Chains A and B, each alone.
Chain A
Amino acid sequence: MKINHRFTILFPILAIVLAIPVSVWAGGGGGQFMSAGYYALVVETGLVIGAIFLGWLVKEKMGIHIPKLIQFPILWVMCYVALRVILQPPIPFSLLAMYMGVCTICIFLYCSLTVDSWRDFSHPIAVMLREDHTKAKLSRYATFLIVPGLIAAQTFNQMLPKFGEPIELRTVHPAPPASINVHKKLVTLQTAENPFRIGDDGNYLKVGEESKYFGQNAWADDAPKFLQQVREGGQVFFGTAGCFFCHGDNLDGKGPFSFAFNPIPANFADPGTISQLQETFVFWRVAKGGPDLSREAFPWASAMPPWEKHLVTNEIWKVIIFEYWHTGFYPRTWE
């Protein structure tokens, strides 16, 4: 069967078009079966092979000659797109700059490797510069205006003073102290336990065992002891302390005052906050609030009150029980 070679070009194009959303999807964490980095590598390799195949098809099978001068920007843009958009997760800018430098040199070498390819590359430029027929004239005028014009515009942009918000990197969960003094009692954070982690039998409830209470009605008349503590913790969260003004009705950090604060209130519903922390860490944060944070966590900007001034120790422990129950997370443990 004779294949019309002018249509075979569609295959690599199709492959590249398909590869872009797939790799973006993989980079977005959708690739469950292999890591995003590895997946991106596979896609990259496929793209390179596809591009070579495409070039071969165009030249050998379709008989279309693309001058090296045109190939140069096409290849350069392809490299840029591959490194900037397709490669996921995104690489740092300095790395991108380095890769693009290497790519530029490689493409230039490719274009100037032989005398013929070099002529192919430079001849159009020479024609543009010196010939006097209409086509050359027009392209000369355009080049002479557009190239300096764009660079001048870019210079202007660079020189225009910019006044953005300063970038200040804040550590969200700084290292806790070994122990804290709350209401004249020393609490050692490594060993302290939440006194309200109590099961139906009155014994200490190990982390993870409380899951049987998740989603249960804490307001039922016959609620077990643990759920009663949850309810009291909720009454502190919503009533006595008013935590919801910042941390929100769903504990997602979107309370009515959250829009006004920066840093924004912690989102307990996010798997990156209380589920990554020990209960005693949360106790430290609640009891001592923003002012006790270390320097890298910006104590001067945190609106978290030192709750030891407003709540009793037991209320703090209960509100912590409530936060884990409401979000369905377990605290982190040493085990």
Chain B
Amino acid sequence: MTLAKIISKFNGKILIGGKLKMLGSKNKTNTLGVEKVLGLGLLTLSIFGFVPGFGGIAIADDEGPKGVMSVAPAPLEPKPGTYKPKQESGAEIEAGKGVYFRKCVWCHGPDGAGDGPSAIRLATKPRNFNQGTFKIRHTGSGELPTDEDLFNSVTHGLQGSVMPPWGSILSAEERRNVIAFIKKNLVKDRTFDDPDEEITVIDYGTQIPSSPESIEMGKDIFMNKAKCVECHGVEGRGNGNLTQRDDWGFPIFPANLQLPWNLRGNRRDPYNPRNIFREVSTGLNGTPMPSFRDELSVEERWHVANFVISLTEVKRPLDPETGKPAIGFVIKSRFVEDGTVPDSPTDEKWLAVPAQIVGMASQIIQPPRHFLRTVETIYVRSLYSESEVALLFEWDDRTESLRDENKEAIYDFKRLSSDSFPAINTTQYTHENDTALGPLKDVNPEPVGVYNDGIAIQFGQKWETIPPPKKWYFVHGDEKDGVDIWKWQSDGTVEEIEGHGISDLQVREDKNVKVTYAKWEHGMWRVIMKRSLLTEDKEKSAQLQTGTNIPITFFAWDGDAGEVGGRMALSTFYYLMMEPPIPASTYVVPPIVFMVLFGCLCWARIAAINYKKDHSDDED
């Protein structure tokens, strides 16, 4: 591509130069001769023509973010059958203790009880090692894990939780040592060298490759025979039974199978059905997820695994750094030819644009700080016409929430706690300022009941007058640079809000933004938001231009997670690019170029023949 640029710069000049010389030398008999001039012209043509041609081919894959389908080598797999754990030496355990107190203690706690300092901030609590209960294993339900399982969990991390992949941080020896320390010193209720502990490794059997038939059979088992649907929901978004608790008394929510990169045991290879087969076979100890080894045959479990993987229709390439889908920061909006932007999300026009991922984090920046957002990704598509722009938002939310003060929210803080382990109950408490020495204080108002679900996008007021890269503060603007927020809530409210910071938001009178579709189904919201490109109030309301990158920020609220106002999920800056239709000249000019060049070559041929006639004596 870079080569293509160099050439295009040279191309014009040399071509013209060549042509001029050709004209000039026609009637002259100088030492250069027509052959030479022709040669020069042709040569530059061929050299500078071929190379950019290849460069041009390389340009074609300019679309979308880059990534890989699996970001890790295959994990270790123990041999099927009876398993005997390794007995580590005292030196290994001592070395592992050093590693543990440098890296692990901050979450898992000094006694391995999952009560490190981070535990109060997390809803998926750090593993409590004391009971010897491990979720991701190759062993039978309730059994201790193999050394390979623990090694895999440390190496690849537990995706979707805060446990990172330590494989790139600790050496293999350090990882084995720390596992030795955990097995020997932190697992207290059971021992790995107990002869009564039976450990049987599951057998993968013969993997059944995915096929429409296999997926169909898997779906039948998922829906009827194994009743996976009761917890994981009709479309697998984990919106089934939301009232269960784990062995330690903390609430636990069924996995969202449509986000396979967040499944704990995916080993950073999320589209591999092997992981699903293993978890269906072993169950997840300590959680309501049972083992289906006795209920389902090996073949049936493979069908289920194939079905679960098929739930993620678009297998997005992954970012090797995060193990999640790679993100592109330009939201491309396409022009609709017939002038009308669709009101239904199933309209074929939406399929013309790929859904693009927007990554969401909790608003942890300003009070009221919020740590546990549930909306992690929003899929965005956009279309525009001469007069208006439309955005289709799709995001997973296990609950359809509507403001109700008296209803207990699914992710209510009282529900997120356990009577058995009050010390690590999740808290949103933070200090207020310097004078707040001492224990943490509750400066964030306690959420009461269920709030509305919601989504919003934000543009800068008069953004076109602010020279890039400067922008307005992404958390609802600041005193100087205001923002225009378009917000929808699940009670049907659509508001246009002027923002000058998170604590200075004013709903404006305007009613330019329309939400033409909003529906929650099977754990997913679909909302279509529209607005005219231009409005009357040019000061307060953002004026949208086509063909330019418009900075845009996204916000989402899950009413069952106590999210309201500044307690929300938010994104960083993205760009909305309303792609202008490809100008007609793009299709007209290249054929003209071709014809002109072809004509030049023909003329060169005539010139060469004439030259030969005139100089037939000199020729060999």
Contacts and interface: CB of A to CB of B under 8 A. Distances in A.
Interface string A231-256: 00011011110101110111010111
Contact of A300 (B50, B98, B474, B586): B474
Interface stretch (A151-159, A186-194, A275-283): A151-159
Interface stretch (B135-143, B284-292, B403-411, B567-575): B567-575
Interface string B537-572: 000000000010100000000000000000000011
B577 A129 contact: no
A291 B480 CA distance: 13
A334 interface: no
B56 A148 contact: no
Contact of A254 (B11, B321, B549): B321
A184 interface: yes
Contact of A126 (B38, B431, B473): B38
A238 B590 contact: no
B329 A154 contact: no
Contacts of B352: none
Interface stretch (A14-22, A53-61, A213-221): A213-221
B10 A101 contact: yes
Nearest to B360: A260
A235 B117 contact: yes
A165 B330 contact: yes
A333 B290 CA distance: 57
A150 B102 CA distance: 60
B594 A310 contact: no
B332 A163 contact: yes
B6 interface: yes
B437 A217 contact: no
Given A154-B4, A300-B470, A312-B434, A161 B582 contact: yes
Nearest to B327: A259
A295 B102 CA distance: 37
B595 to A, nearest CB: 8
B319 interface: yes
Residue among A69, A242, A260, A298 with the highest chain B CB neighbour number at 10 A? A260
A238 B35 contact: no
B440 interface: yes
B162 interface: yes
B604 interface: yes
B513 to A, nearest CB: 24
Interface stretch (A1-9, A33-41, A42-50, A92-100): A92-100
A238 to B, nearest CB: 4
Interface string A81-125: 000000000000100110011001000100010000010011101
B51 to A, nearest CB: 8
A148 B598 contact: yes
A123 B166 CA distance: 66
A172 interface: no
Contacts of B571: 260
Contact of A310 (B7, B431, B575, B591): B431
Given A151-B11, A238-B117, A165 B361 contact: no
A150 B360 contact: no
A162 B547 CA distance: 10
Contacts of A269: 169
Contacts of A289: 365
Nearest to A100: B6
Contacts of A299: 473
Interface string B310-346: 0000000001011010011110100000000000000
Nearest to B431: A310
A305 B361 CA distance: 14
Residue among A151, A168, A235, A242 with the highest chain B CB neighbour number at 10 A? A151
A258 B322 contact: yes
Interface stretch (B20-28, B41-49, B204-212, B236-244): B41-49
B519 interface: no
Q: How large is the interface on B (under 10, 10 to 19, 20 to 34, 35 or more residues)?
A: 35 or more
Chain A interface, DSSP helix/strand/loop, else mixed: helix
Contacts of A254: 164, 321-322
A211 interface: no
Residue among B35, B547, B583 with the highest chain A CB neighbour number at 10 A? B35
A83 B583 CA distance: 37
A238 B148 CA distance: 29
B107 A249 contact: yes
Contacts of A158: 4, 8
Contact of A156 (B437, B474, B590, B605): B590
A97 B163 CA distance: 48
B585 A291 contact: no
A168 B116 CA distance: 40
A244 B586 contact: no
B591 A152 contact: yes
B110 A219 contact: yes
B414 interface: no
B120 A157 contact: no
Contacts of B329: 165, 262
Contacts of B577: 163
A208 interface: no
Contacts of B198: none
Interface string A262-304: 1000000100000000000000000001110001001111011
A73 interface: yes
12 contacts: A80-B3, A101-B10, A123-B35, A147-B601, A156-B587, A161-B582, A163-B579, A164-B330, A239-B121, A262-B572, A303-B364, A310-B431
Lowest 7 CB-CB distances: which A-B pairs, in order? A150-B53, A239-B117, A183-B434, A260-B359, A148-B597, A257-B361, A122-B39
Interface of A: 69, 72-73, 76, 80, 93, 96-97, 100-101, 104, 108, 112, 118, 121-123, 125-126, 129-130, 140, 143-144, 146-166, 168, 170, 182-184, 215, 217-220, 234-235, 237-240, 242, 244-246, 248-250, 252, 254-262, 269, 289-291, 295, 298-301, 303-305, 308-313, 315, 326
Interface of B: 2-11, 35-36, 38-40, 42-43, 45-50, 52-53, 55-56, 59, 62, 97-98, 101-103, 105-107, 110, 116-118, 120-121, 162-164, 166, 169, 319, 321-322, 324, 327-330, 332, 359-362, 364-367, 369, 371, 430-434, 436-437, 440, 468-474, 478, 481, 547, 549, 571-573, 575, 577, 579-580, 582-583, 585-587, 589-591, 593-595, 597-598, 601-602, 604-605, 608-609, 612
Given A93-B5, A154-B55, A298-B469, 8 more contacts: A151-B593, A152-B593, A245-B364, A246-B361, A249-B107, A257-B364, A259-B322, A260-B571
